[in-house]
Amino acid sequence: MEANNQTQYKPAISFRSVKKSYEQDGQTYDVLQDVTGDIQQGTIVAVLGPSGSGKSTLLSMCNLMRTPDSGEVNIYGKEVREWNVNELRRTAALAFQSAPVLDGTVRDNLSLVQRLHQSQLYSPEELASFTGLPPELLDRSAKDLSGGQRQRLSLARTLANPSSILLLDEITSALDPVSALEIEKLIKRQHQEKKWTVMWVTHNMEQAKRVADTIWFMADGRLLETAATETFFSNPQHEAARDFLKGGTR
């Protein structure tokens, strides 16, 4: 999906003073604290940081899986809560680590976008081929897939959308290194062809180096550093980022 003339000069994704807290056992936990930043159209941003730093929460706000307590999340300059939710999720498609599978076959799962939106970029066979799902799995129950196969299925469902933004949350964490590289190459190739904007949460430092134009580093619910990928890894500015890269904080 191409950005229209009204959005082409706006950041694909922007966060403005975004805050999010959760209540648990009578205590308040600040998951996101005053996050502000822009992701430009056509770029790949890898979001790094220790576990619990708010990366996945921030990502999920881009297509209304969660909403901020205060602040704004904008897609092409329009606040997410002003979008029609179906249109938003066609525009900004999310694939995540532990995506649920639907009852029925793998083919049924891969036809979901067609059923919901009456449009789909690729057939189930093409989606399976893109993501390395063996074709003989198409008519098997999706509930029988392994963890790695479920991650491939989640990504395949995301690619079925006519999206211009991809939101990827640890999508290769259950894959072996060779399979993870195949998925990276797929995303990079499709990104180059379709000019996607990609926001990619990962714990894999080498993956971030390979795929990202820009790094966002988060810790304790704050966006502490943004930099070109090579700059971040060679000369991080924030002490928490330096500790993270040394392996002191994971």
pLDDT digits (tens, 9 = 90+) for 129-154: 888 899 999 999 999 988 888 888 88
- Residue 67 belongs to a domain: yes
Q: What is the CATH number of the domain that holds 173?
A: 3.40.50.300
- Alpha-helical segments (H) within 2-105: 55-60, 85-91
Q: Please calculate the CA angle 70-202-49 and round it to the nearest 5 degrees.
A: 60
Instruction: Identify whether 146 is part of a domain.
Output: no
Distance CA 96, CA 169 (A): 4
Direct distance between the N- and C-terminal alpha carbons of the chain, in angstroms, rounded to an integer: 36
User: Cα angle at 66 between 63 and 68, to 5 degrees?
Assistant: 105
- Do the domain assignments include residue 129? no
pTM equals 0.86
Specify if 109 maps to a domain: no
130 domain residue, yes or no:
no
Query: What does DSSP assign to residue 41?
Result: T
Residue-wise pLDDT tens digits, 202-222: 999 999 999 999 999 999 999
CB-based contact 81:64 (threshold 8 Å): yes
Asked if residue 37 is part of any domain, the answer here is: yes
Q: Residue 20 is part of which domain span? A: 12-100+163-246
d(CA 247, CA 35): 24
Name the residue with higher pLDDT: 155 or 6: 155
Do the Cβ atoms of 93 and 75 come closer than 8 Å? Answer: no
In the chain, the number of structural domains is 1
